[in-house]
Amino acid sequence: MLATASKRPPGPDPAWAVEMKWDGMRAISQISGTGARFWSRNGHEVTLSFPELAEAFPGIIGLVLDGEIVAPDPATGAPSFSRLQHRLGTRPSAALRAAVPVRYFVFDVLEIAAESVMDLPYLERRERLDELHLDGGPIRVPPTWIGEDPERMLRIAADAALEGIVLKRTNSRYQPGRRSRAWLKVALRKVETFAVVGWLEGSGTNRGSLGSLVLAGRLHGQLRFAGSVGSGFTIAGRRAIRDALDRIARPDSPLDVEPPREIARSAHWCDPIIAVDVAYRELTGDGVLRQPSFKGVRSDVDASEIGWPT
């Protein structure tokens, strides 16, 4: 079940619960007698990348949970997707596990004792989740606040360097595969996923590496230019992404709608198969990102399914 982006949260209302929004990778887990298995939002199994989570449910069977895998920043404790990237797609060594520990923040339960509870209202599912007493070690069950002022919770999220908040109707059932207005996400700064369709050459210290990524999304089924992003990269990250782009380069634009002339003239094009998260202030009237900043590559997202920011 996915949340719908919202600019203005409803005021304090007991019909809404408030949760914090975590900067990580959404994951469904299934716990059986042989341990836990994890799947990303696009259905890819990611268990091998997080063995400490797979081993964290001793003696528990018959659960299906929904949550977020996060890698806390060692300085602030806030989840950092850029740190989590070091674990994605790996079979981590003991050294990597120690350097980049992960947590699984569980916020919903879908099955208990192999019986579905998805038709129960949100509040009852949360009560069932709390009764499981899962909180401990790398497994955390973050709190939920009922009827709390969303504006106040946004300020708390900002002070804690979090992404924002998620509001959930207390009487809502779990609707798998749907983006519902029963769940609303309110971001402090918008973060969306885009397809990479090309790149611009770097200059100065970035000469021979990567200047910026050319981004796109699908609007009414057409792949359209959404701007470019050139900030938020590490030096090593620029080189790694450029290497990946060189392997999928193509001579022509994959866009269905002609991009601005300066982009068409100077961009190097690639197949639109890499997905990236980008934070930005707003989308301008002509559909271009304002003040974008690169957040990370999303290996758990199918670039062909990326839509248009709302």
Cα–Cα–Cα angle for 210, 215, 220, nearest 5°? 165
Phi, psi (degrees; rounded to nearest 5) at 102: -125, 160
Question: What is the spatial distance between Cα 295 and Cα 112, in angstroms, rounded to a whole number?
Answer: 35
23 is written with which tokens? 């900067």
Which run of H or E residues covers position 228?
A: strand 222-229
Output the DSSP codes for 21-73. Answer: EPSSEEEEEEEETTEEEEEETTS-B-GGG-HHHHTS-TT--SEEEEEEEE-B-
DSSP secondary structure code for residue 79 in this structure: B
CA 196 to chain centre: 16
Active site residue 190: no
Catalytic residue among 7, 21, 168, 190: 21
Q: Which of 3, 53, 58 is closest to 29 using CA atoms?
A: 53
Distance CA 86, CA 262 (A): 34
Residue 296 in contact with residue 24, Cβ under 8 Å?
Answer: no
For residues 184 and 9, the answer to whether their CB atoms sit within 8 Å is yes
Residues with a catalytic annotation lie at 21
